[in-house]
Structure formats: C-alpha cells, structure tokens
Structure 1
Amino acid sequence: MFKKILVAIDNSDISQLVIKEVESLALAMDASVMLVYVQTSFNEQYLNPILLQPDSFYTNLHTEAMQDYMKQWENLKQEKIDWLRSLSQKISNHGIKTEFTLNFGDPSRMICELAQSWNADLIMLGRRGHSGLSELFLGSVSNYVLHHAPCSVLTVQPQEVTTSPELKQQEKFEAV
C-alpha cells in the first residue's frame, strides 16, 4: 500500500495525465502527495547566461547583464512556484494532503534523491516515449528513475487512439 507518492511533473501534456492518475490513486490509498518540478538547462524556458562572462572588457555591461539575468531567473522561479502552488491546491481540494518542491539540477537524479529523502513509497512520472537515438541524445528521465529509484515507480504515458482496420480503410478511401 502506498502512503507517500512523489509525483515528477513538468509543463507537458503528459503531466496532466499524471496529475489525474495520482488524484485517483492517492484518494484510493489515502496517500499524501509531493509534487516535484526540476528546472534544468534543457527546459525550454531556461535562461542561458552565455553572454555573462566574468572576463568581459565592459564590466558595467557585465554587471547590468548579470542583474537583468538574475531578475529574469527570479521571475521564472516565481512562475514555477505559483504553478506548483496552484496544482497543489487543486489536488488538496480533493482531500489529498499535498506539498510541492521546486529544484534545480538533473531531473533524473534529483527525483531519485528526493524520493529517498522523503521516504516515498511510489514515484509517478510521465513517459514521453523516447527511444533509439532520441533517447540516447536526450536521455530518458523515466528510464533512469525506473532503474535507480529507491521505491516503486509508475510511469504514465498517453494512450494512442486506436482505429479499427475498417475505419482506416474508409479513411483511406475518403482521402482519395
């Protein structure tokens, strides 16, 4: 029986499915939930400080750029905290004890470390279905977590709409 469920989420559509699944499971098991978002340099909103080199000839520009970068970073961080807070509240409204955390680093390792320190019974996360070269280059958070987690892992993936052979034939006919 699961009493502490750690839920790794991001801004993807699959995370919405994960949230729905965890709500059902947590209610059935009377479990508490920890929502986890890990900011990494591979997130699309990550701020890249490439121009903030400390050996710049224009130290005033460097200081201004650094201050602007830090302000943008704090705004991004606050957006994620607000988003996590609203998700946490939504789940709490169903009578589920919910908390959240925002972390920075490698999502794969961070999820496993948080599960260990929080004594999670289960980790839930989405699976995007990377395979082959895309998994090799992009990595797979779900694959890493599955092999390194200190507890059980449940991956949620989108259900593909299956079409009957007759309907496929009809669609093919109509397309011609």
Structure 2
Amino acid sequence: MKVLIAAEESECSRRAIQAVLERQWPEDSQFRVINVCESFPVLGAKIRPAYVMAESEMLRQKKSQVRMDIVELRKVYPVNLVSGDVLKGDPCACILEEAKDWGADLIILGTHGREGISRAFLGSVAEGVAGSAGCSVEVVKAKRTH
C-alpha cells in the first residue's frame, strides 16, 4: 500500500502523522511525506529581496519538517520505504498531482476544522483533495478546543 501523507507545520498535520504512526500497515507499505510551499504572487517586474529571503526560509523550514517526519516514520516502520519532498504551488493541486504520479492508494492529511466565514474565505485543502482524488482519502480532524 502506498500512503501519501500531506503535512505542514500545524497541530492538525501532527495529528495526521500520529494517526499513521499508531496504525498497523501491510508489510510492503510505502510512505511518502509531502509539504507544499504555496507560491505567493509577486506584483511588479522585480522580485523584492525580502520576498526571496522569506520564501527561502519557508522552504528551509518545510524541508526540515519533512526530514523530521521521515525520521519519525522510519523509527516505527524501519523496513518500509519512506520518502518525502517539499513541493511548490497550490496545495490542493500539488497533493493531487503527487498522489497520481506516485500511484498513492491512500492520502492522509489533517484539517483545521474551520467553519463558516473563515472556511469560505480560506477554503479547504482537505475538501478539495477528498473531492478530486483518484484514491481513498483520510482526513484527520484537529481536536476541538471548546
């Protein structure tokens, strides 16, 4: 089974990783962790140095998180193939494309559980992935704080 884990630096993503770690998987399972660095539009012909530095730092942090997730998965599943990457672009599109290209059997990702206005404005990567994926999708919800 090929399990694609879409993660980021949030509590809901940590819960998704934890859900993978707590489960028994078939012996031949493969895990791939991805983190998407969303590209931000830059207005004007020149890219400001501050933007380049900020994007570079964001990529560095995301790569570091993916490496930590891989280490964590390899501790629990030492004989399974575990890989990862940081992708650039629209999160939903990148997750769907990676799942298709890699031949994922299952996508696991967290959701912030936003509702109402904030969900309408911010959208839902989890909803977009679940509605368009060519494989099964497991959405791990964040714990409610109220």
Residue 60 of structure 2 is matched in structure 1 by 78
Segments of 4+ in structure 1 off by > 6 A?
none
Residue 9 of structure 1 is matched in structure 2 by 7
Higher strand fraction (1 or 2) = 2
* Mapped contact 2:8–2:62 kept (Cα < 8 A): no
Higher helix fraction (1 or 2) = 1
Identify unmatched segments of 5+ residues in structure 2: none
Bigger Rg over Cα? 1
For 1:28 and 1:73, the matched residues in 2 are separated by: 36
Distance 1:158 1:66, change over 3 A: closer
Tell me, what secondary structure is at the counterpart of 2:8? Answer: coil
Aligned length: 143
Identify unmatched segments of 5+ residues in structure 1: 55-61, 163-176
For 1:141 and 1:75, the matched residues in 2 are separated by: 23
Aligned pair 1:29/2:11, yes or no? Answer: no
How much has 1:80 moved relative to structure 2?
Answer: 1.6
Residue 88 of structure 2 is matched in structure 1 by 104
| Per-residue Cα deviation, 1:130-174 (whole angstroms, up to 9, x for no partner) | 233222211011111111001000011134479xxxxxxxxxxxx
For 2:136 and 2:7, the matched residues in 1 are separated by: 17
For 2:9 and 2:118, the matched residues in 1 are separated by: 20
After TM superposition, the structure 1 stretch with the greater mean CA deviation from structure 2, 11-20 or 92-101, is 92-101
- Structure of higher RCO (CA pairs closer than 8 Å, 6+ residues apart): 2
* Mapped contact 2:5–2:33 kept (Cα < 8 A): yes
Q: Normalization by structure 1: what TM-score?
A: 0.71
| Per-residue Cα deviation, 1:113-144 (whole angstroms, up to 9, x for no partner) | 11001000000011211233222211011111
Distance 1:23 1:133, change over 3 A: same
For 2:56 and 2:90, the matched residues in 1 are separated by: 19
After TM superposition, the structure 1 stretch with the greater mean CA deviation from structure 2, 125-134 or 31-40, is 125-134
